[in-house]
Structures are given as structure tokens and as C-alpha cells.
Structure 1
Amino acid sequence: MAPRKIVPHQDYGFFAPDSVTRRVWGYPTTPLVGIQRATVIEELDPNLIAAVDDTGDNYSRLNTRYARTVQYFASVAFADARTVLKLADVLVKIHSKAIGHEPVGGGRYDANDPASQLWILVTGWHSVLKAYEVFGPGKLSAEEERQYWAECAIAAEFQTCDPADVPRSREEVHAYFEAWRPRLAASEAAQRMMDHLLDGVNAVVPRAGLLGVVRPLANATLRRATIATLPQHMRDLAGVRQSRATDVLVTLWLRGLMRIAARSLPVQRHLLAVLSPRTLPVIEPHWYGVPAVNPVVLTPDQARHQWGYVRPAEAHLELRARQAQRVFGDGLAPSDEGLLESQSVLGRLA
């Protein structure tokens, strides 16, 4: 039984209630390990760490950044189509100010760059699936996995990357990450950030309340669980050490806890209310089987035609050009346009 009246979504968005995407992304491993793993690995992209390190937001307000990340990804999987299109549009504006000079290679970074966006997308979807497999019910069937990556290509429609570039199988995903290996770098800034993100529970969970009491144990568990899912070359780059015995023990321990959490919606609600409260109305209709007002699944093209949005790669080109001129032409900081607007969609910045 739902704890209160659940407001239904206007439609089922882009994924059916019984889709593989909703099953995987709706499992409690997603906000606890999957998203943390994704954000840790993403820092190995020199362009991404340059953008993140320049703002310092992951240090000053990691709880807000984490909550927004969870809310965005959950919305793509569970929200109605118009909500997702609005989020995608605002995200392009937010990323328009994440541009600058990349200190390691000396080039420029741009958060709206298609290659960077594809890296974030694939890393996020792979990390969520990895957490589901290791700490949840286990591996998907071959057919389910093909469906999962085909649905990931649908999610690519809401970022500036090309859906055709999304890998479609376990083998293609492995090849994608192998192709990235020569481009990965762990500067001091990256290692410091990865260590900070691995201790994310300490920054995200408040000291007060029951979760505050168990916070040190939760942080130690999720830190070790996330490391346990990392391949050795990423551990080496990050400068983290963990024995295989620890990998096995923390996997068994967390797998048991996740099975308990998966059987209790009140537990999942409480965890999500702490980690990303604005995500609750996004996922609750799915959890409690509340049908959409219009129970249809749309394609991205259908939704864009209905509500008048363009593809993210084509969105706000004038704003992006103005930001580039400010930063690379005039030597000024980018404006906060888009970032301020995002508060009405993703909540307050702090």
C-alpha cells in the first residue's frame, strides 16, 4: 500500500512499466552503488575532471550534485515524456557554462561535447547494470541485455551524443571502455576527487537521525563495494588499494542487505528521501503500480513533435556560442544562465 496519494505521471515516458530499464534502474543498488560508481569512473576523463574541478561544487555541495544526478537519471527512466524533454533542454543550458581549458592536455573542454556526453551516458548505464548484477539479482539474459542497451540508445536522445554510437551488447561495451583506456588519466585533481566521491555517504547523509548513526559503517561498506566493482587498471589510476578478500566479503555482505531492501518499499523510500528527496515522486508511481493518466510509451521523435523541443545537439546554439566567446574570446567566466533556471526543474542549488 502506498504511504500517501501518489500523483500519476501524464504518460509512461519512453520506457514501459515492464521494461528491463525500469527493472534495473528501480532496484535499490542504483542510488547506493551504481550512481556512485559512475561518478567515480567519470573523473578519469581529463575533460570531465577539468570541468568538475573548476567549479569545486563536488566539494562544497556534493549532496546537491548527487541528488540532482539521481533525479535526472531516474526521470529519464520513470518520468513522463514532457518532464524528460524539459530536463534535457535545461541540461544543455547548464552544460553551456561548463567550458574552459583542460590543464593536462592543454586543450579545451566542453560538457556538451558529444564524446563527453557519450562517456557519461555509457558509464552511468554500465555502472547501474554492474551494481545490479554484482549486488542484486544477478546477470540479465542475453536478450534482456540487448534490450537494456537498445533502451540506453533511447536515453542517448536526451543528451548531445549520437544514439548510433551507443554500444548494443556486452562485447561492444567492453570494446568501448577498452578504446577509452589510452585516453584515461588520473591527475592529482582526479585522484583527490575520486577519493572524495568514494566517501560520498559522509557528504550526502546527514549526521542526525538513524542513518546518521550508521553513516560510518554505510560509508565504509559502499566505498569498498564500489571499489570491488572497478577493474584493476582503474584502481591503479585512482591510487586505491583493496584486497580480493575484501572484494568478496563486501560483495556478500552488501548483496544480502540489498535483498532485504528490495523486499521493503518503506526502506527504499526512506533511503531515497535522504539521498534525493525530489526523486521520490518520479519513481513512486512505478514502485506502487500507479498507471499513467495516458498509459502510452512515446518515442523521442513523437514527444519532441508534440511539445516542440529540438534534439539536445541542436539546442541553444546561440547561448553556447555566447558562452564560448565569453570564456575563450573575452577571457571572462561563463554566465550562470541555465544554472539558475534549473532550480525550478531540479531544485535549489544549495
Structure 2
Amino acid sequence: MAKAKRTGVEPHEDYGFFGPGSVVWKVWGYPTSLTVGFQRAVVVEELDPPLVAAVHGTQGIYQRPRTRYDRTLRYFAMVAFAGSREVCRAADVLVKVHAKAIGQLPYSDGTYDANDPASQLWIQLTGWHSILYAYEKYGPGKLTAEEESEYWSACAVAAELQTCSPDDVPRTREGVRAYFDRMRPRLSASPIARQAMHHLLRTELVLPPTPRWAKPAGLVVAAAQRTATIATMPRWMRELAGIRQPRLLDVLIVPVMKASFALVHRHPKLELRLLGRLSPSTVSAIAPISLGIPPRNEEVLTPAEARARYGYPKPAEAHVDLRARQAARILNDGKAPSEQGLIESQEILGPLS
């Protein structure tokens, strides 16, 4: 605790669901994860028609791109690093936030619902796959077979914090590939998907305001991350979404980003300072781990143990009444959804503005 007092960083209550020595901390703790990995995840996700319908319906990425990025990144980081009580609380309120993202599909029959298990599984797997892919391409490289097995098992643990079933999470790289192969025919680069993907590749929109003299450097950083993110996307996906980038840039960006990430990772305080510029709300989730500050209780729980201890239901079973009321308001009455979940989430996931 003395180190916590010296740094002013608040320790977590416990190690959460993974802890020191875990492959999750190894991969997610590298600077590729919350930069290129995260951006790749949110860009690729938009090819799923129900998901992009929910994103387009709320308009959050357009109306408040910086705070939307900040809050989403904070949640990702909390699942990997924060204490179990805090993560359960965040997962619970996220169900409320998603309850307002429901409506009619814009380009086909049917409805979308951000809490739908299939959409949540798509988010889970694109996120964890993108984080690992960025780590392999711009970080230390491929995991061992044992580490990769642990990684996908951990992905299933994290899925318990979503409305999807952990039983549906593949436990191998081959299983993950098979999942994406099954999803590919369902993906669509609709006008709203293309709009969202191109918008989310504009890294400069989530950077904080900077003095005029610093703007050129900020634009260089944003361009480098955009280039690196596109370079992780397969050709068929880029062609589908109308994203263009020369093959030469795909090759040249790799050594630049590998060297940059390695340099930053050697200096934890610098790494946290840069993260604070990108996502201020995320720093408190990662700082104790980066600075080696132990939690108050050195234990690792399972999501089931944490829910039992703190009194939270499974996400799939949470806030059923609120979800039903939101659906009735939107689908039956044609009214705007209640903002209850968003308002409550600010204390947990960060401010909306």
C-alpha cells in the first residue's frame, strides 16, 4: 500500500478474473491492445448488420466520438484488469445501456437488440481476436500453444459478463476461424456500415484538443494508427467496406509500430501518460497493474463467484423489466427510449460529455 500512496493510484479491490501471470494480462497489458487492437475491433464489428443498426440508431459514435471511445475502452480494460466487484457492476449497468439500442433493421425485415446473445458473441470474439492479432503483428509475436489455449479459455470467462453464453465461445484458434467463416456470409458493408467503419478509422476524432503547435504530431500519430489498423484487416474485408491502402504501407508500418510500442512499453509512466491522453477514464483500470500496485485482497474470482458474493444476476437475466419497457416504447409506441441506463452508467464508465 506504500507504493499506492507514493503514486496516488488507487489499488483494485482484488485481482478480478485473471490476475498476475495470466496470458490476459500479458496480451491486454501491451500497448497494442488498447490502440490498434481496440480500433480494429470496433471497425470490424460494424460489418454485422444488427450491430451496426444499433450503433447507427444511437448515433453515439458520431455525436460524442471521444467520450464513446473513452467509455468503451474503459469497459474493455476493466474486464481484463479491474476488481471483480467493479467489473460486475459495470457489466450490469451495460445491460441497461444496451437496452435502449433496439429497433427495426434498416435494410431487411426483423429487429435488432444490442443485448441479443448473437450480437454480444460477435462483439466478444471480434474484440478478443483483434487484441490478440494486434499483439502478434505489432508486439512480441505469437503466443505458445499453451498460452493461446489459456487465452481463449479466458475469453470464455469474460463472455460470462455479456449476455452471450460462454459455451458458444471457441477454445482454439481453429474454432475462432470456423466461427468467422460461418459469420462471413452474414456480414454486409451496407451504407451505414461503411459510414461507421470509415468514421471509426479517423483516430484524430478521439484525440484530445491540442495546442496548434502540437497538432501536426497528433495527426502523424493518428495516421500511423489508422494505417496500422487497416494493415490488420484482410483484403476481402477492405474491398467490401471500400477501404483503400497500398500494400507497401501494410509492410512499412509494421517495423515502425513494433519499435514504437516496444519503446513505450519499457516506460510504464510514459505509457500511462499517453493512455491518459487517449482515454482518461481507462487509466484507473490499468495504472495499478502497470505500476505493480497489489490489490487490497490478492485473490482471483470467477464471474459466478463474484455474482454470488455481490448479488448480481447473470447479464442475460438482468433488468428484464427495463428491457421489456424499452422495447415497448420503441417498437410498439414509436417513442424515443429512456436514457436511464446511460445516466446511471456515468459513475461507472465515465462521463458522457
Q: TM-score when scaled to structure 2?
A: 0.96
Q: Among 302, 308, 327, which residue is 2:311 paired with?
A: 308
| 8 A Cα contact 2:39 2:201, kept in partner | yes
Match of 2:67 in 1: 64
Counterpart of 1:119 in structure 2: which amino acid?
Answer: W
Q: Give CA-to-partner distance per residue, 1:19-77, whole Å, 9 cap, x none.
A: 00011111111121011000000110111111111222211211101111110011011
Is 1:110 equivalent to 2:113 in the alignment?
A: yes
How far the C-alpha of 1:244 sits from its partner, in A, is 1.9
The equivalent residue for 2:133 is 130
Correspondences of 1:77-96 after superposition (within 5 Å): 77-96=80-99
Are residues 1:215 and 2:218 paired? yes
d(CA) in 2 for partners of 1:237, 1:205: 31
Give the letter aligned to residue 50 of structure 2: N
Partner SS state of residue 342, structure 2: coil
Query: Partners of 1:283 and 1:79 in 2: how far apart?
Result: 8
Using the TM superposition, give the Cα deviation of residue 211 of structure 1 relative to its aligned residue in structure 2, in angstroms.
5.8
**Cα displacement (A) at 1:200:** 2.2
Counterpart CA distance in 2 for 1:311 and 1:212 is 45
Matched with 2:230 is 227
User: In 2, are the aligned partners of 1:51 and 1:99 still within 8 Å (CA)?
Assistant: yes
| SS of equivalent residue, structure 1 residue 338 | helix
Aligned to 1:279: 282
Q: Equivalents in 1 of 2:109, 2:203: separation in Å?
A: 30
What's the secondary structure of 1:100's corresponding residue?
Answer: strand
User: Is it true that 1:259 corresponds to 2:262 in the alignment?
Assistant: yes
1:333 partnered with 2:336:
yes
SS at match of 2:251: helix
The alignment yields a C-alpha RMSD, in angstroms, of 1.4
Is the 1:205–1:215 Cα contact (8 Å) retained in structure 2?
Answer: no
SS in 1 for 2:24: helix
Partner of 1:319: 322
Q: Equivalent of 1:148, from 121, 143, 151? A: 151
Give the aligned partner of residue 38 of structure 1. Answer: 41
Instruction: Give me the whole-angstrom Cα distance separating, in 2, the residues matched to 1:255 and 1:235.
Output: 23
SS in 2 for 1:341: helix
Matched residue pairs, number?
A: 350
- Aligned partners of 2:22 and 2:211: how far apart in 1? 37
Question: Which one-letter code corresponds to 1:318 in the other structure?
Answer: D
Residue 346 of structure 2 aligns with which residue?
343
Query: Per-residue deviation at 1:154?
Result: 0.6
Given that 1:202 and 1:216 are in contact with CA atoms closer than 8 Å, whether structure 2 keeps it comes out as no
- DSSP 3-state at the match of 1:109: strand
Shift of 1:232: 1.3
Quote the Cα distance in structure 2 between the aligned partners of 1:260 and 1:212.
22
TM-score where L is the length of structure 1: 0.97
In structure 1, how many angstroms separate the alpha carbons of the residues matched to 2:206 and 2:285? 23
* Aligned counterpart for 2:179 among listed residues 176, 179, 191: 176
Give aligned-pair identity as a percent.
54
Separation (CA, whole Å) in 2 of partners of 1:174 and 1:282 = 30
Corresponding position of 2:27? 24
Which amino acid in structure 2 is aligned with residue 156 of structure 1? A
Q: Does structure 2 conserve the Cα–Cα contact (< 8 Å) formed by 1:112 and 1:160?
A: yes
1:136-176 CA-partner distances (Å, limit 9, x unpaired): 00000111000000001010010000001011111111111
Q: Deviation of residue 97 (structure 1)?
A: 0.3
**Equivalences for 1:183-202 in 2 at 5 Å?**
183-202=186-205
The AA in structure 2 aligned to 1:295 is E
1:103 partner SS: coil
SS at match of 2:103: strand
Q: Is the 8 A contact 1:205 1:211 kept in 2?
A: no
Match of 2:161 in 1: 158
**Given residue 70 of structure 2, which amino acid in structure 1 is its aligned partner?**
A
| 8 Å Cα contact 1:62/1:204 also seen in 2 | no
| 2:58 aligned partner | 55
Distance 2:36 2:155 in 1: 19
Q: Would you identify which runs of 4 or more consecutive aligned residues in structure 1 move more than 2 Å? A: 200-213
Compare 4-13 and 163-172 and name the one that shifted more: 4-13
1:291 to 286, 290, 294: 294
Deviation at 1:213, TM superposition (A): 3.8
The DSSP-based 3-state class of the residue aligned with 1:296 is coil
